[in-house]
Chains A and B, each alone.
Chain A
Amino acid sequence: MDKFLAYLIPGIFTGSAYAIAASGLVLTYTTTRVFNIAHGAFGMVMAFLFWDFSQRQGLPVWLSLALVLFVVAPLIGFLIQRFVARGLGDSPVSVSLVVTVGLFVGLIGAATAIWPPEPRFVPPLLSDETGNDKSFGIGETVVTAQQVITVLASIAVAVALYMLLTRTRIGTAMRASVDNPELLKLYGGKPDTVAALSWAIGISLAALAGILLVPVVGLGYFELTLLVINAYAAAMVGRLKSLPLTFAGAMGLGIVDSMALGYIPTESFLADIRPVVPPLFLFAALVLLPQAQLRIGQVKGIVSAPVPTVPRMAVTGVVFLIAMFVVVSPMPEARLLLVGTAATYAMVMLSLVLLTGYGGHVSLAQLTFAGVGALAYAKLDSPNLIGLLLSALIAVGVGALVALPVLRLTGLYLALSTLAFGVLMDKVVFQNERAFGFGGALEAKRMSFFGNTVETTQAYVMVMGVFFVLVAMGILILRRGVLGRLLVAMRDSPAACGTLGLDLRWARVALFGLSAGVAGLAGALFAGLRGTIGAADFQYFNSLPLLLLAVVFGITSVTGATLGGIGLMLLPVLSGSSPVAGGIVFLIIGFGAVFAGRDPNGLANLLFRLGRMLRAKVMARVDLNLPSLPPRRSSFGGATVAVSADEPVDGSAHEIDDTRGDGIPVAAGSKESR
């Protein structure tokens, strides 16, 4: 009985903290339809701020607490709603989720820059003279004051939210806004004010949860930030709608988590699941969600990046490889490894081009699939093309397996289930000694082709480059063909595809599998490059910056993936000099993404536009200096027009035609002969 109590009480304590965090998450989601992945990151930053006020600047604890909870946090919530969340709820999930991933990365960066790593101690809210938490006993179980405060705080939050939502005008408006913000507007309500208030309260609640949990989990950049995954799980029990169910879910999760710690023996085969109760809980809550209804009622086209013709692809690929060879040739070993890493990231981003850019689904576990490929490659121990393909196939299988149980889910829920999967894989499989071995350093051999091993790193990096080009071409060719059209159609209107006879669920499984396969191939090649690989190479939360950079540089194009891969590789290099510098880099990238993330074509699109503009300008000048030619149509007849029909959509052709300046109309197909 004492043992039961000893685990029940901490369970109730953590459950209460999760409940506070989760209710903030639910509040912001319901009023703005923006799922704040960075909810925990806000809690983390606020906990740091609380430390800053109370410890560094020596303000009284109550004043620090009041300042953080009632001034700073609400203000930040208000600003986030005004400048980030507003209008984001109607965007596709690949945009809204990425923007909050940007906040996530940016906030971690900000915290690192403002408060560089050093040991910090946050005393409990009520401490005795020695700085220890005040405590008392129930039987043999010790209960701390912090635990009591947390439980009381969660009750207070529950009551306050209940009163706010049911007894006040603004609360009623909040509930109305959940149902239909447009209608609220018609009746004179202000959905924006409601949303701002929700965000203010939401961030305050994140802050409160963070501050209450700090004495237990410690003041670190990642611990508090990632603890929010537990809040996601609780929020999912309430289906991101019901606060009472969210509270119940949080409490249940806290208790189950604590009990698992107490009652699953360390030696049993179940021991592995002890640290992953929350993600399992999240996964279960997601799987039990009711069938997602196909949303109908929109014509949404995305202006996609241009898809080049096959010959142009081939030429670009060859030029790319030659340029890569020139760049790579004089490089020392360390640099070569960096180039190989960039190629790996770029290839994983290609898998996202397929899944997110073309398909519209978000995966928060793409690096995990790369890890699966790497692990398979090393374990298979047949470092040749067959081993490589088998590794990719295993990743295909795992990707399809992830999509299977959540067949019925779409959008946000699908994305969150991949996050849960990432955590599970990381903690249960990758960190297991049977996977990457003791200390996490599993040996992987360099590949060989038809008996010839690629010994030098230089040659190996070039092999990776070739694979990258091949995969990129494969994806582009796929995009041009039947499957590409289907993917875009599924993204634009799932409902129409369903009523036209397409089984969306299996199409999604296939897409996930294919995308995971590409990531797995990248992982396998990476394993060969590095020689030894470990769980640290594929940590689940690194999938977030990966997704982020993919979107910032352009998740709809191969160019975007290439640039994104280089960018992600450069991140640790740029931030290598000091944690502060690293923090600033992350800060810029994160908050940059908050604004750039709204255009899924990303920075690559700027490049395309610049290219078109330059071509138009330069070609116009060239044309001006040329003597006028007789009109093409008369000399070539219909042939030129027929050619033009196969050309990719390319604004430049038309721009140039208009800027000849000699007043002679030119057939649209005249571009070839220029």
Chain B
Amino acid sequence: MSLLEVDDVVMQFGGVTAVNHASFEAEAGHVTGLIGPNGAGKTTCFNIISGLQRPTKGKVHFDGKNVTSVPVHRRSKRGMGRTFQRLEAFGSLSVRENVRVALDIHRGVKGMLKPARADIDHLLERVGIASYADDRADSIPTGTARLLELARCLAGDPQLLLLDEPSSGLDETETDAFGELLRDLAAEGRAILMVEHDMDLVMGVCDTIRVLDFGEVIAVGDPAAIRADKRVQQAYLGYADDGDDDQDDQDDQPVGSHAAGHDDQTLVIPAVSATEGVS
């Protein structure tokens, strides 16, 4: 049985169906990728799993229990942690204080008085942002802030990590290091569910990939299978790879790049897609 099971979830905002009978799971020890074009419902799925939004229909099971109506903070106590696509760092606090708050919340009233500095430094080093420890969180670069969110999340020692576009803002070297970190975290027995647009990263670290389009899961499989899946190509690139002639072109173009010149893609503006507007 998987650690996380999303069962036939539907999410409607007025007339818009952001998530349409989506079912998927995330297993302990695995990195699961959740990909799809903008507006496919990925972040909404995360909001439903983490409890920020209640689904119109369907269930979320975590660790064998139905958590669909469990409030956000209790899900966290049960072992869920998440980062945000649009940053949610505590801007007025330093990077170190950000993690400190997470530790304080995790340890509760009794643990608050224990010294935490070593633990915080360890977490910051682990995600590779120790040099920013004393900077205010609203002054650090985006990529660093995403890593800070990860560190903050790890302070709660979660079994399930929901990472929403964690690598955007990171350069290539940083992304490679980040990929390794993800493998390490999975090796510790955590389940990682990651929404990501960097296809090199997704293909490199994920054990399983699930593709969402218009709120539906249209494909499931390991990276190789996903790369070859016609529906995925259709959804992502706007055309299916149907002959040898196109093969070379496709190899040049990463699957995740938003195919230039394709109307469906260029019309989608992240900030105004139905799922983002209401979150």
A residues neighboring B (CB under 8 Å): 179-180, 182-183, 186, 293-294, 296-304, 482, 485-486, 488-489, 491-493, 495-504
Q: Kindly list chain B residues whose C-beta atoms are within 8 Å of the C-beta of A297.
A: 84-88, 276, 279
Whether, in the assembled complex, B137 has its beta carbon less than 8 Å from a beta carbon of chain A, the answer is yes
With contacts A297-B86, A489-B101 taken as known, whether A498 is within 8 angstroms of B76 at the C-beta atoms is yes
Which of B77, B87, B272 contacts A299, CB < 8 Å? B87
Residue B73 CB within 8 A of the other chain: yes
Segment among B18-26, B89-97, B120-128 that sits at the interface with chain A: B89-97
Q: A186-B269, A296-B279, A300-B138 given as contacts; is B89 within 8 A of A496 (CB)?
A: yes
CB neighbours of A499 from chain B (8 A):
50-52, 72-73, 76, 80-82, 153
Q: A488: which B residues are within 8 A, CB to CB? A: 90, 92-93
Q: Tell me which residues from 84 to 119 in chain B have a Cβ below 8 Å from any Cβ of chain A.
A: 84-93, 97-98, 100-102, 104-106, 112-113
- Given A183-B272, A296-B86, A486-B105: A500 and B91 interface contact (C-beta under 8 Å): no
Inter-chain contacts of B243 with A (CB < 8 A): none
Chain B contacts for A298, CB-based, 8 A? 86-88
Chain B nearest CB from A245 CB (Å) reads 16
**Closest chain A residue to B103, Cβ basis:** A500
Asked whether A500 lies within 8 Å of B138 as measured between CB atoms, the reply is no
Interface size class of B (residues with CB under 8 A): 35 or more
Q: Does B53 contact A (CB under 8 A)?
A: yes
Per-position binary interface string of chain B over residues 243-279, scored 1 when its CB falls under 8 Å from any chain A CB and 0 otherwise = 0000000000000000000000000010110001111
B182 CB to closest chain A CB (Å) equals 19
Q: Kindly state the separation between the CA atoms of A298 and B86 in the bound complex, as whole angstroms.
A: 6
Q: Which 10 A-B pairs have the closest CB atoms?
A: A301-B91, A297-B86, A301-B138, A501-B76, A498-B72, A496-B88, A301-B92, A492-B90, A493-B88, A489-B101
Determine the distance from Cα of A186 to Cα of B268 in the docked complex, in whole angstroms. Answer: 13
B52 and A495 within 8 A (CB): yes
User: In whole angstroms, how far apart are the Cα atoms of A485 and B102 in the complex?
Assistant: 10
Residues of B within 8 A of A183 (CB): 269, 272
Which chain B residues border A293 with CB–CB below 8 Å?
52-53, 278-279
Among A294, A299, A486, contact of B104 (Cβ-Cβ < 8 Å): A486
How far is A498 from B53 in the complex, measured between Cα atoms in Å?
12
Answer yes or no: B152 CB below 8 A from chain A CBs: yes
22 contacts between A and B (CB under 8 A): A180-B277, A293-B53, A293-B278, A296-B86, A297-B88, A297-B279, A298-B87, A298-B88, A299-B87, A299-B137, A299-B138, A486-B104, A489-B101, A492-B92, A493-B91, A496-B88, A497-B101, A499-B50, A499-B76, A500-B73, A501-B74, A504-B73
What's the minimum C-beta distance from A478 to chain B, rounded to whole angstroms?
A: 13
Q: Which residues of B contact A296 (CB under 8 A)?
A: 52, 84, 86, 88, 279
**Residue in A180, A497, A499 with the greatest tally of chain B CB atoms within 10 Å:** A499
Q: Give B160 Cβ to nearest chain A Cβ, in Å.
A: 12
Instruction: Tell me the complex Cα distance, A217–B269, Å.
Output: 52
Q: In the complex, what's the smallest C-beta–C-beta distance from A57 to chain B, in angstroms? A: 50
Are B84 and A495 within 8 A (Cβ)?
A: yes
Q: In the complex the two chains form, what is the Cα distance from A497 to B138 in whole Å?
A: 16
Asked if residues B104 and A485 are in contact (CB atoms below 8 Å), the reply is yes
